[in-house]
Amino acid sequence: MRRAGSCSPVAKKLLIGIICLGLCTPGARALDWNIRSSLSESLEFNDNRKMSANPTGNSYNSVSSLMFDAKALTPTSVAGLVGNLRYLTFAGPGEEGSKNTLDKDATFTFEKRTKSTTYNFITSWSQADAATIQLQETGFATVGGSVTTTTFGGGLRHELGPRDTIAWQTTYVSTEFTSADSTPIASLTSTLDWTHRLSPITVLTPSLQFQRLNYDNAAQTEVTFWKATMGMNTELTKRLSFQAAAGGTLLNGEQNNVGVSANSAVPTSGSVTGWLANAQLIYNPLATVRVVLTAAHTTAPNTFGQINVSDTVGLYLSYDINSVSSLSLSGSISQQSSAVERASAQAGSSATESLSAVIAYSRQLAREWRTNLSYRYVQQRSNSNINSDARSNSVVFNITRDVTILP
């Protein structure tokens, strides 16, 4: 087990390779460079950040961020390197047991364009606070330590004609944890998309995705996940557009070490079928007003390898007060549960219901300075062994400075 905050040998080789590739690129001096950076500071007050049924007190947290984005461009290719450092500090009685952490990530991308085909390659490494990720994905924080993710992938996009484009992408992701209670996961995902312009205002997007998950647990569990969808994007009027997709899913689990218990959130034997659908309606009644309605039923694995089914309905409203300031309102209602339990007699035994509402004010202070002030209310109810009802109120203030180094 690696110490949290240390850089893995894979990450070191990845970063060294990226630097060498940039230095050794033929004709590097003739490239067009675009380099920018940003500094950001966020201060948060939260009366129940960990969404506990019996909160121990308030949290007073901050996030100090540094982002670096560099691109090297030629007429037929672009190479990019993006790096982020985020220092998270936790204070207050509600953060008992929390440790200050330094999240970090680096992503290198390369894209090569020919007459009708575009090839791409991506590799990245990241290390982040596990509790923060779990809060974002599940609404609760029960794990500690950090999550280390290494990604390699590539693919292509080919224009079959003026109306048809086909794309293929394959990505390998390795996820490791410093917490002894979490299981390392390796994932291989391959996606095939077809884009067909049916008319000047309507586009069809069939998609087929295959994902294989390998869990490094005692049972050596393997899960395959198929997803097939048919999507549509249409512009009903100049102010109204509609997007939707629907399809089916197939989960198949295999437990190599028979008799050894595995994570109940993944299928250890047999198959589980499901369906998915999503829709989005975007309406611009005025040039300064934007309304977005969303609804989705999805099945997908999260960072911790749990296969979850979620149902979400959301509303987003934004208003541009003037050229430098805006106001936004958003809200959502969702329910999340295990895909395995949803398909069995245990359906709903561990479902989590969530309600959230956010109001935010943004303002451009100067050319390089921008700020945001937001309030968020969250209410959650979990049907685990003991029903729990948790609420939280949070206020976040953020100020960011964007700097363009080149051109």
pLDDT, tens digit (0-9, with 9 covering 90-100), for 387-407: 578 999 999 999 999 999 988
Q: 353 versus 266: which is more confidently predicted?
A: 353
Nearest alpha-carbon partner for 307 in 333, 276, 331: 276
Q: What average pLDDT does the segment 9-22 reach?
A: 49
Give the C-alpha separation, 305 to 342, whole Å. 16
* pLDDT exceeds cutoff 60 at 366: yes
Give the C-alpha separation, 131 to 117, whole Å. 41
Q: What is the pLDDT of residue 63?
A: 96
Q: What is the pLDDT of residue 318?
A: 98
- How far is C-alpha 377 from the geometric centre of its chain's CA atoms? 21
Give the C-alpha separation, 29 to 26, whole Å. 8
Q: What average pLDDT does the segment 190-208 reach?
A: 97
Q: What is the pLDDT of residue 344?
A: 58
**In degrees rounded to 5, what are phi and psi of residue 351?**
-70, 145
Q: What average pLDDT does the segment 210-218 reach?
A: 89
Give the C-alpha separation, 341 to 390, whole Å. 23
Query: Average pLDDT, whole number, for the chain?
Result: 87
Tokens of 178: 């410093």
pLDDT, tens digit (0-9, with 9 covering 90-100), for 325-334: 999 999 999 9
8 Å CB contact between 393 and 355: no
Which residues, at least 6 apart from 130, have a Cβ–Cβ distance to it below 8 Å? 143, 144, 145, 146, 147, 177, 178, 179, 182
Q: What is the pLDDT of residue 15?
A: 47
pLDDT, tens digit (0-9, with 9 covering 90-100), for 32-77: 999 999 999 999 999 999 888 888 899 999 999 999 999 999 999 9
DSSP state string for 342-385: HTSTTTTTT-EEEEEEEEEEEEE-SSSEEEEEEEEEEEEEE-SS
Q: Where are the domains of the chain?
A: 9-406
Beta strands in 146-268 (DSSP E): 146-159, 164-177, 185-199, 202-215, 221-235, 240-255
Overall size of the chain counted in residues: 407
Strand partners, 212: 188, 224
* pLDDT exceeds cutoff 50 at 245: yes
Return the H-helix or E-strand segment holding 92.
none
- How far is C-alpha 154 from the geometric centre of its chain's CA atoms? 19
* pLDDT exceeds cutoff 90 at 385: no
Q: Which fold has domain 9-406?
A: Porin (2.40.160)
pLDDT, tens digit (0-9, with 9 covering 90-100), for 67-103: 999 999 999 999 999 999 999 999 999 998 888 999 9
pLDDT band at 256 (very low <50, low <70, confident <90, very high): low
3-state secondary structure of 333: strand
Q: What is the pTM of this model?
A: 0.83
pLDDT, tens digit (0-9, with 9 covering 90-100), for 131-161: 888 888 877 777 788 999 999 999 999 999 9
Three-state SS sequence of 54-91: CCCCCEEEEEEEEEEEEEEEECCEEEEEEEEEEEEECC
**In degrees rounded to 5, what are phi and psi of residue 75?**
-60, -25
CA torsion 354-212-216-298 (nearest 10°) is 0
Q: 70 versus 274: which is more confidently predicted?
A: 70
* pLDDT exceeds cutoff 90 at 264: no
Return the H-helix or E-strand segment holding 307.
strand 307-320
Give the C-alpha separation, 248 to 227, whole Å. 6
List Cβ<8 Å contacts ≥24 apart for 147-150: 147/175, 147/176, 147/177, 147/303, 148/2, 148/8, 148/175, 148/176, 148/177, 148/178, 149/124, 149/125, 149/173, 149/174, 149/175, 149/176, 149/303, 150/8, 150/10, 150/11, 150/14, 150/124, 150/125, 150/174
